[in-house]
Amino acid sequence: MSSVPASADVGVIGAGIVGLATARALRQRGATVTVYERGVPGAGQSGGESRVFRHAHDDPRLVAAARDSRTIWDTWADELGIETVSPDGALTIGPDVDAKLALLRDVDGIGAREVDADELAQLLPLLGPFDGPAFLDPRGGSIRTTATIEALAAELATTLVHDEVLQVRQVSGGRAEVRTGGRTVVHDHVVVCAGRGTPAIARSVGIELPVKQSTHVRYTFEPAGRPPSRAACLQDGSGVFGETGIYAAPGPDHATYAVGLSDTAGVRDDGTIIDGDALADLAARAARYVARALPGLRADPVGVRHCWVTELPWSSDGVAAWSQPGLTLVAGHNLFKLAPWLGGLLAANALGDGLDERLQPESRLGAAPEGQG
Protein backbone atom coordinates (compact mmCIF):
# COMPACT_ATOMS: atom_id res chain seq x y z
CA MET A 1 0.00 0.00 0.00
CA SER A 2 1.77 3.26 -1.11
CA SER A 3 0.80 6.61 0.39
CA VAL A 4 -1.11 8.18 -2.53
CA PRO A 5 -3.11 11.22 -1.24
CA ALA A 6 -6.95 10.85 -1.29
CA SER A 7 -7.27 13.67 -3.80
CA ALA A 8 -4.60 12.13 -5.94
CA ASP A 9 -3.61 13.65 -9.27
CA VAL A 10 -3.50 10.80 -11.78
CA GLY A 11 -2.52 10.79 -15.44
CA VAL A 12 -4.08 8.22 -17.78
CA ILE A 13 -2.46 7.61 -21.16
CA GLY A 14 -4.94 6.55 -23.84
CA ALA A 15 -8.64 7.30 -24.33
CA GLY A 16 -9.64 3.89 -25.59
CA ILE A 17 -12.25 1.91 -23.62
CA VAL A 18 -9.69 0.85 -20.96
CA GLY A 19 -8.30 4.38 -20.40
CA LEU A 20 -11.79 5.91 -20.29
CA ALA A 21 -13.02 3.22 -17.87
CA THR A 22 -9.99 3.82 -15.63
CA ALA A 23 -10.45 7.61 -15.72
CA ARG A 24 -14.14 7.23 -14.82
CA ALA A 25 -13.35 4.97 -11.86
CA LEU A 26 -10.63 7.38 -10.66
CA ARG A 27 -13.01 10.34 -10.80
CA GLN A 28 -15.69 8.40 -8.95
CA ARG A 29 -13.10 7.90 -6.19
CA GLY A 30 -12.38 11.63 -5.99
CA ALA A 31 -9.09 11.74 -7.89
CA THR A 32 -8.06 14.57 -10.21
CA VAL A 33 -7.59 12.99 -13.64
CA THR A 34 -5.85 13.98 -16.87
CA VAL A 35 -6.38 11.73 -19.92
CA TYR A 36 -3.76 12.03 -22.67
CA GLU A 37 -4.90 10.98 -26.15
CA ARG A 38 -2.88 11.53 -29.32
CA GLY A 39 -5.80 10.76 -31.62
CA VAL A 40 -9.59 10.60 -31.37
CA PRO A 41 -11.00 8.84 -28.28
CA GLY A 42 -12.01 5.28 -29.15
CA ALA A 43 -10.41 5.26 -32.62
CA GLY A 44 -7.67 2.72 -31.79
CA GLN A 45 -8.33 -0.95 -30.99
CA SER A 46 -11.66 0.24 -29.51
CA GLY A 47 -12.86 1.56 -32.88
CA GLY A 48 -15.86 0.39 -34.90
CA GLU A 49 -19.41 -0.51 -33.89
CA SER A 50 -20.24 -3.56 -31.70
CA ARG A 51 -18.22 -6.09 -29.72
CA VAL A 52 -19.25 -9.45 -28.32
CA PHE A 53 -19.92 -9.52 -24.59
CA ARG A 54 -19.49 -13.18 -23.57
CA HIS A 55 -18.92 -14.85 -20.21
CA ALA A 56 -17.32 -17.95 -21.75
CA HIS A 57 -13.53 -18.08 -21.26
CA ASP A 58 -11.06 -20.93 -20.74
CA ASP A 59 -10.04 -19.47 -17.35
CA PRO A 60 -12.73 -19.67 -14.63
CA ARG A 61 -11.24 -16.52 -13.01
CA LEU A 62 -11.99 -14.64 -16.23
CA VAL A 63 -15.52 -16.05 -16.33
CA ALA A 64 -16.08 -14.54 -12.87
CA ALA A 65 -14.41 -11.27 -13.92
CA ALA A 66 -16.70 -11.07 -16.97
CA ARG A 67 -19.73 -11.66 -14.71
CA ASP A 68 -18.60 -8.77 -12.46
CA SER A 69 -17.86 -6.57 -15.48
CA ARG A 70 -21.36 -7.28 -16.87
CA THR A 71 -22.90 -5.91 -13.69
CA ILE A 72 -20.90 -2.69 -14.08
CA TRP A 73 -22.02 -2.40 -17.73
CA ASP A 74 -25.59 -2.28 -16.37
CA THR A 75 -24.61 0.41 -13.85
CA TRP A 76 -23.01 2.42 -16.65
CA ALA A 77 -26.20 2.11 -18.71
CA ASP A 78 -28.17 3.66 -15.83
CA GLU A 79 -25.59 6.36 -15.09
CA LEU A 80 -24.86 7.28 -18.74
CA GLY A 81 -28.47 6.91 -19.91
CA ILE A 82 -27.58 4.64 -22.86
CA GLU A 83 -27.89 0.96 -23.81
CA THR A 84 -24.41 -0.46 -23.20
CA VAL A 85 -24.99 -4.17 -23.93
CA SER A 86 -27.86 -5.38 -26.14
CA PRO A 87 -30.34 -7.96 -24.71
CA ASP A 88 -29.71 -10.35 -27.65
CA GLY A 89 -27.65 -12.92 -25.74
CA ALA A 90 -24.54 -14.71 -27.01
CA LEU A 91 -24.67 -18.12 -28.72
CA THR A 92 -21.84 -20.64 -28.86
CA ILE A 93 -22.00 -23.59 -31.28
CA GLY A 94 -19.52 -26.42 -31.74
CA PRO A 95 -17.79 -29.38 -30.09
CA ASP A 96 -16.58 -27.50 -26.97
CA VAL A 97 -20.08 -26.51 -25.88
CA ASP A 98 -20.22 -28.99 -22.99
CA ALA A 99 -16.83 -28.00 -21.59
CA LYS A 100 -17.60 -24.27 -21.83
CA LEU A 101 -21.08 -24.73 -20.35
CA ALA A 102 -19.63 -26.66 -17.40
CA LEU A 103 -17.21 -23.79 -16.70
CA LEU A 104 -20.04 -21.24 -16.88
CA ARG A 105 -22.23 -23.29 -14.54
CA ASP A 106 -19.46 -23.20 -11.92
CA VAL A 107 -19.87 -19.42 -11.66
CA ASP A 108 -23.06 -17.97 -10.12
CA GLY A 109 -25.21 -15.42 -11.89
CA ILE A 110 -24.64 -16.36 -15.55
CA GLY A 111 -27.56 -18.70 -16.35
CA ALA A 112 -26.16 -20.18 -19.57
CA ARG A 113 -28.17 -23.08 -20.97
CA GLU A 114 -28.28 -25.49 -23.90
CA VAL A 115 -30.53 -24.64 -26.86
CA ASP A 116 -31.93 -26.91 -29.58
CA ALA A 117 -32.05 -26.22 -33.32
CA ASP A 118 -35.50 -24.59 -33.19
CA GLU A 119 -34.60 -22.14 -30.45
CA LEU A 120 -31.26 -21.45 -32.17
CA ALA A 121 -33.19 -20.41 -35.30
CA GLN A 122 -35.34 -18.04 -33.23
CA LEU A 123 -32.35 -16.52 -31.43
CA LEU A 124 -30.41 -16.01 -34.67
CA PRO A 125 -32.71 -16.22 -37.71
CA LEU A 126 -29.81 -15.03 -39.94
CA LEU A 127 -28.03 -18.38 -39.38
CA GLY A 128 -28.49 -21.38 -41.70
CA PRO A 129 -29.76 -24.71 -40.33
CA PHE A 130 -27.54 -26.08 -37.53
CA ASP A 131 -28.50 -29.00 -35.29
CA GLY A 132 -25.23 -29.53 -33.42
CA PRO A 133 -24.31 -28.63 -29.81
CA ALA A 134 -25.23 -25.04 -28.87
CA PHE A 135 -25.71 -22.92 -25.75
CA LEU A 136 -27.08 -19.47 -24.99
CA ASP A 137 -25.39 -17.00 -22.62
CA PRO A 138 -28.50 -14.88 -21.92
CA ARG A 139 -26.56 -12.05 -20.23
CA GLY A 140 -24.23 -11.92 -23.22
CA GLY A 141 -24.95 -9.49 -26.03
CA SER A 142 -23.56 -6.85 -28.37
CA ILE A 143 -21.64 -4.02 -26.70
CA ARG A 144 -22.75 -0.62 -28.01
CA THR A 145 -19.18 0.54 -28.51
CA THR A 146 -19.72 3.87 -30.29
CA ALA A 147 -22.45 5.09 -27.91
CA THR A 148 -20.37 4.04 -24.88
CA ILE A 149 -17.17 5.72 -26.07
CA GLU A 150 -19.07 8.91 -26.97
CA ALA A 151 -20.82 9.02 -23.58
CA LEU A 152 -17.60 8.41 -21.63
CA ALA A 153 -15.62 10.92 -23.71
CA ALA A 154 -18.34 13.53 -23.15
CA GLU A 155 -18.44 12.84 -19.40
CA LEU A 156 -14.62 13.11 -19.23
CA ALA A 157 -14.24 15.95 -21.75
CA THR A 158 -12.61 18.32 -19.25
CA THR A 159 -9.93 15.76 -18.43
CA LEU A 160 -8.88 15.14 -22.04
CA VAL A 161 -5.57 16.49 -23.34
CA HIS A 162 -5.21 15.87 -27.07
CA ASP A 163 -1.48 15.39 -27.27
CA GLU A 164 1.00 12.56 -27.82
CA VAL A 165 2.95 11.23 -24.85
CA LEU A 166 6.58 10.84 -25.85
CA GLN A 167 7.89 9.66 -22.50
CA VAL A 168 6.94 8.67 -18.98
CA ARG A 169 9.64 8.95 -16.31
CA GLN A 170 9.55 7.93 -12.65
CA VAL A 171 10.65 10.80 -10.39
CA SER A 172 11.22 11.31 -6.67
CA GLY A 173 8.45 10.74 -4.14
CA GLY A 174 7.15 7.70 -6.00
CA ARG A 175 5.55 9.94 -8.63
CA ALA A 176 5.77 9.96 -12.44
CA GLU A 177 6.41 12.63 -15.05
CA VAL A 178 4.67 12.73 -18.42
CA ARG A 179 6.29 14.49 -21.38
CA THR A 180 4.00 15.25 -24.32
CA GLY A 181 4.40 17.34 -27.44
CA GLY A 182 3.39 20.49 -25.56
CA ARG A 183 3.93 19.93 -21.85
CA THR A 184 5.74 18.27 -18.96
CA VAL A 185 3.54 17.27 -16.01
CA VAL A 186 4.29 15.36 -12.79
CA HIS A 187 1.43 13.21 -11.47
CA ASP A 188 1.11 11.23 -8.24
CA HIS A 189 0.54 8.21 -10.48
CA VAL A 190 0.30 7.42 -14.19
CA VAL A 191 -1.78 4.58 -15.67
CA VAL A 192 -0.69 3.58 -19.17
CA CYS A 193 -3.66 2.27 -21.21
CA ALA A 194 -2.17 3.08 -24.61
CA GLY A 195 -3.03 -0.22 -26.35
CA ARG A 196 -0.50 -0.75 -29.11
CA GLY A 197 1.46 2.25 -27.72
CA THR A 198 2.01 0.73 -24.27
CA PRO A 199 5.06 -1.52 -25.02
CA ALA A 200 7.08 1.49 -26.25
CA ILE A 201 6.25 3.55 -23.16
CA ALA A 202 7.08 0.54 -20.96
CA ARG A 203 10.44 0.05 -22.69
CA SER A 204 11.32 3.71 -21.90
CA VAL A 205 11.08 2.86 -18.18
CA GLY A 206 12.99 -0.38 -18.61
CA ILE A 207 10.06 -2.83 -18.74
CA GLU A 208 9.83 -5.33 -21.62
CA LEU A 209 6.17 -6.35 -22.01
CA PRO A 210 5.64 -9.83 -23.58
CA VAL A 211 3.11 -8.39 -26.06
CA LYS A 212 2.77 -10.02 -29.50
CA GLN A 213 1.39 -7.58 -32.05
CA SER A 214 -0.58 -8.60 -35.13
CA THR A 215 -3.32 -7.27 -37.37
CA HIS A 216 -6.93 -8.27 -37.80
CA VAL A 217 -9.93 -7.60 -40.05
CA ARG A 218 -13.67 -7.85 -39.48
CA TYR A 219 -16.42 -7.33 -42.06
CA THR A 220 -19.90 -5.86 -41.50
CA PHE A 221 -22.91 -7.13 -43.46
CA GLU A 222 -26.55 -6.13 -43.84
CA PRO A 223 -29.61 -8.42 -43.57
CA ALA A 224 -30.87 -9.56 -46.97
CA GLY A 225 -34.44 -8.59 -45.96
CA ARG A 226 -35.95 -6.65 -43.03
CA PRO A 227 -33.65 -6.57 -39.97
CA PRO A 228 -34.61 -9.46 -37.66
CA SER A 229 -36.29 -8.68 -34.31
CA ARG A 230 -33.56 -10.66 -32.59
CA ALA A 231 -29.97 -11.48 -33.57
CA ALA A 232 -27.80 -13.05 -30.89
CA CYS A 233 -24.01 -12.76 -30.96
CA LEU A 234 -22.29 -15.87 -32.28
CA GLN A 235 -19.15 -17.84 -31.48
CA ASP A 236 -18.88 -20.66 -34.03
CA GLY A 237 -16.25 -23.32 -33.31
CA SER A 238 -18.09 -26.07 -35.18
CA GLY A 239 -16.34 -26.03 -38.54
CA VAL A 240 -19.67 -26.99 -40.12
CA PHE A 241 -19.58 -23.84 -42.27
CA GLY A 242 -15.89 -24.14 -43.08
CA GLU A 243 -14.37 -22.10 -40.22
CA THR A 244 -13.80 -22.82 -36.49
CA GLY A 245 -12.89 -19.43 -35.00
CA ILE A 246 -15.82 -17.21 -35.88
CA TYR A 247 -17.21 -14.37 -33.74
CA ALA A 248 -20.09 -12.12 -34.74
CA ALA A 249 -22.25 -9.38 -33.25
CA PRO A 250 -25.25 -7.29 -34.34
CA GLY A 251 -25.19 -3.52 -34.67
CA PRO A 252 -27.93 -1.24 -33.30
CA ASP A 253 -31.47 -2.20 -34.41
CA HIS A 254 -29.97 -5.38 -35.94
CA ALA A 255 -29.42 -3.31 -39.09
CA THR A 256 -25.92 -4.79 -39.46
CA TYR A 257 -24.07 -7.92 -38.39
CA ALA A 258 -20.27 -7.84 -37.96
CA VAL A 259 -18.38 -11.09 -38.61
CA GLY A 260 -14.70 -11.87 -38.02
CA LEU A 261 -12.32 -14.81 -37.77
CA SER A 262 -10.20 -15.00 -34.63
CA ASP A 263 -7.12 -15.49 -36.83
CA THR A 264 -4.74 -12.56 -37.22
CA ALA A 265 -2.02 -11.53 -39.73
CA GLY A 266 1.55 -11.55 -38.44
CA VAL A 267 3.58 -8.40 -37.85
CA ARG A 268 7.37 -7.90 -37.52
CA ASP A 269 8.80 -6.18 -34.42
CA ASP A 270 8.98 -2.93 -36.40
CA GLY A 271 5.22 -3.09 -36.96
CA THR A 272 5.33 -3.98 -40.64
CA ILE A 273 2.96 -6.66 -41.90
CA ILE A 274 4.78 -9.90 -42.84
CA ASP A 275 2.46 -11.27 -45.55
CA GLY A 276 0.96 -8.53 -47.73
CA ASP A 277 -2.01 -10.71 -48.73
CA ALA A 278 -2.88 -12.00 -45.24
CA LEU A 279 -5.52 -9.40 -44.36
CA ALA A 280 -7.18 -9.74 -47.75
CA ASP A 281 -7.23 -13.54 -47.31
CA LEU A 282 -8.80 -13.22 -43.84
CA ALA A 283 -11.45 -10.87 -45.21
CA ALA A 284 -12.21 -13.23 -48.11
CA ARG A 285 -12.55 -16.16 -45.68
CA ALA A 286 -15.03 -14.16 -43.57
CA ALA A 287 -17.09 -13.36 -46.68
CA ARG A 288 -17.08 -17.03 -47.77
CA TYR A 289 -18.15 -18.05 -44.27
CA VAL A 290 -21.08 -15.61 -44.39
CA ALA A 291 -22.19 -16.96 -47.78
CA ARG A 292 -22.27 -20.51 -46.31
CA ALA A 293 -23.42 -19.92 -42.74
CA LEU A 294 -25.54 -16.76 -42.67
CA PRO A 295 -27.95 -16.84 -45.64
CA GLY A 296 -29.98 -14.12 -43.88
CA LEU A 297 -27.21 -11.64 -44.77
CA ARG A 298 -26.37 -10.03 -48.10
CA ALA A 299 -23.13 -11.63 -49.35
CA ASP A 300 -21.34 -8.32 -50.01
CA PRO A 301 -19.91 -6.55 -46.92
CA VAL A 302 -20.96 -2.94 -46.26
CA GLY A 303 -18.21 -2.12 -43.79
CA VAL A 304 -14.75 -3.18 -42.60
CA ARG A 305 -12.68 -2.81 -39.48
CA HIS A 306 -8.92 -3.31 -39.63
CA CYS A 307 -7.05 -3.14 -36.36
CA TRP A 308 -3.95 -3.95 -34.38
CA VAL A 309 -4.07 -6.80 -31.88
CA THR A 310 -1.88 -6.91 -28.75
CA GLU A 311 -1.87 -10.41 -27.26
CA LEU A 312 -0.08 -11.81 -24.22
CA PRO A 313 1.67 -15.15 -24.71
CA TRP A 314 -0.57 -17.25 -22.46
CA SER A 315 -3.96 -16.66 -24.13
CA SER A 316 -5.72 -14.49 -26.74
CA ASP A 317 -7.93 -13.49 -23.78
CA GLY A 318 -4.90 -12.85 -21.56
CA VAL A 319 -4.71 -9.61 -19.52
CA ALA A 320 -2.16 -8.36 -16.98
CA ALA A 321 -0.81 -5.17 -15.40
CA TRP A 322 2.69 -4.14 -14.38
CA SER A 323 2.91 -1.96 -11.26
CA GLN A 324 5.86 0.24 -10.28
CA PRO A 325 6.19 3.25 -7.94
CA GLY A 326 4.01 5.95 -9.58
CA LEU A 327 3.21 3.78 -12.58
CA THR A 328 0.76 1.10 -13.76
CA LEU A 329 0.86 -0.39 -17.28
CA VAL A 330 -1.84 -2.72 -18.68
CA ALA A 331 -1.79 -5.04 -21.70
CA GLY A 332 -3.92 -7.78 -23.26
CA HIS A 333 -6.58 -8.52 -25.84
CA ASN A 334 -10.37 -8.86 -25.97
CA LEU A 335 -10.51 -6.20 -23.27
CA PHE A 336 -13.67 -4.34 -24.31
CA LYS A 337 -16.02 -6.56 -22.35
CA LEU A 338 -13.77 -6.45 -19.29
CA ALA A 339 -13.05 -2.68 -19.36
CA PRO A 340 -15.49 -1.56 -16.61
CA TRP A 341 -14.08 -4.20 -14.21
CA LEU A 342 -10.46 -3.68 -15.33
CA GLY A 343 -10.70 0.13 -15.06
CA GLY A 344 -11.82 -0.19 -11.43
CA LEU A 345 -8.82 -2.38 -10.53
CA LEU A 346 -6.32 -0.13 -12.35
CA ALA A 347 -7.76 2.92 -10.55
CA ALA A 348 -7.50 1.10 -7.22
CA ASN A 349 -3.82 0.42 -7.80
CA ALA A 350 -3.20 4.04 -8.82
CA LEU A 351 -4.83 5.17 -5.56
CA GLY A 352 -2.62 2.97 -3.41
CA ASP A 353 -4.84 -0.06 -2.78
CA GLY A 354 -2.27 -2.35 -4.43
CA LEU A 355 -2.61 -4.38 -7.64
CA ASP A 356 -5.29 -7.13 -7.62
CA GLU A 357 -3.54 -10.50 -7.49
CA ARG A 358 -5.38 -11.68 -10.61
CA LEU A 359 -3.74 -8.91 -12.70
CA GLN A 360 -0.22 -9.73 -11.60
CA PRO A 361 1.63 -11.00 -14.71
CA GLU A 362 2.60 -14.21 -12.95
CA SER A 363 -1.12 -14.96 -12.44
CA ARG A 364 -1.44 -15.37 -16.24
CA LEU A 365 -5.10 -14.34 -16.15
CA GLY A 366 -6.91 -15.83 -19.13
CA ALA A 367 -4.83 -19.00 -19.34
CA ALA A 368 -6.74 -22.30 -19.18
CA PRO A 369 -6.08 -24.15 -15.91
CA GLU A 370 -3.27 -26.75 -16.14
CA GLY A 371 -4.43 -29.89 -17.99
CA GLN A 372 -7.43 -28.12 -19.64
CA GLY A 373 -7.88 -26.17 -22.98
The alpha-carbon radius of gyration of the chain (Å, integer) is 21
13 sits near ligand FAD (criterion: CB under 6 A) = yes
The residue from 85, 176, 209, 335 that contacts ligand FAD (CB under 6 A) is: 335
Whose Cβ is closer to ligand FAD: residue 2's or residue 204's? 204
Which of 4, 23, 31, 38 is in the footprint of ligand FAD by CB under 6 A? 38
CA-wise closest residue to 9 among 366, 29, 19 = 29
Which of the ranges 69-77, 276-284, 288-296, 331-339 carries the binding residues for ligand FAD, by CB under 6 A? 331-339
| The binder of ligand FAD chosen from 4, 10, 11, 19 (CB under 6 A) | 19
Q: Which is nearer to ligand FAD, 20 or 115 (CB)?
A: 20
175: contact with ligand FAD by CB under 6 A: no
Which of residues 336, 343, 347, 359 is near ligand FAD by CB under 6 A?
336
Span from 36-44, 128-136, 205-213, 287-295 in contact with ligand FAD (CB under 6 A): 36-44
Query: Closer to ligand FAD at the Cβ: 37 or 356?
Result: 37
Give the nearest distance from C-beta 161 to ligand FAD in angstroms.
Answer: 9
How many whole angstroms from its chain centre is CA 175? 29
Q: CB of 39: closest distance to ligand FAD in angstroms? A: 4
What mask of x and - would describe binding to ligand FAD in positions 178 to 217, judged by CB under 6 A? ---------------xxx-x------------------x-
Number of residues in contact with ligand FAD, rule: CB under 6 A? 35
Strand order in the sheet with 319-324: 160-162, 32-37, 9-13, 189-192, 327-332, 319-324
Q: Does 17 bind ligand FAD (CB under 6 A)?
A: yes
Closer by beta carbon to ligand FAD, 179 or else 230: 179
Question: Cβ of residue 131: shortest distance to ligand FAD, in angstroms?
Answer: 26
Residue from 164, 177, 263, 281 in contact with ligand FAD (CB under 6 A): 164
Three-class HEC string of the chain: CCCCCCCCEEEEECCCHHHHHHHHHHHHCCCEEEEEECCCCCCCCCCCCCEEECCCCCCHHHHHHHHHHHHHHHHHHHHHCCCCECCCCEEEECCCHHHHHHHHHCCCCCCCEECCHHHHHHHCCCCCCCCCCEEEECCCEEECHHHHHHHHHHHCHHHEEECCEEEEEEEHHHEEEEEECCCEEEECEEEECCHHHHHHHHHCCCCCCCCEEEEEEEEEECECCCCCCCCCEEEECCCCCCCCCEEEEECHHHCCEEEEECCCEEECCCCCECCCCHHHHHHHHHHHHHHHHCCCECCCCCEEEEEEEEEECCECCCEEEEEECCEEEEEECCCCCCHHHHHHHHHHHHCCCCCCHHHCHHHCCCCCCCCCC
Find the residue with minimal CB distance to ligand FAD.
16
Residues 40-59 interacting with ligand FAD (rule: CB under 6 A): 43-46, 48, 51-52
Stretch that binds ligand FAD, among 2-10, 30-38, 68-76, 150-158 (CB under 6 A): 30-38
User: For ligand FAD, which is the closer residue by CB, 117 or 166?
Assistant: 166
Q: Is 320 left (phi over 0), alpha (psi -120 to 50) or beta?
A: beta
Site residues (CB under 6 A) for ligand FAD, limited to 292-321? 305, 307
User: Which of 2/147 has CB closer to ligand FAD?
Assistant: 147
Contact positions vs ligand FAD (CB under 6 A):
13-19, 36-39, 43-46, 48, 51-52, 164-165, 193-195, 197, 216, 218, 247, 260, 305, 307, 333-337
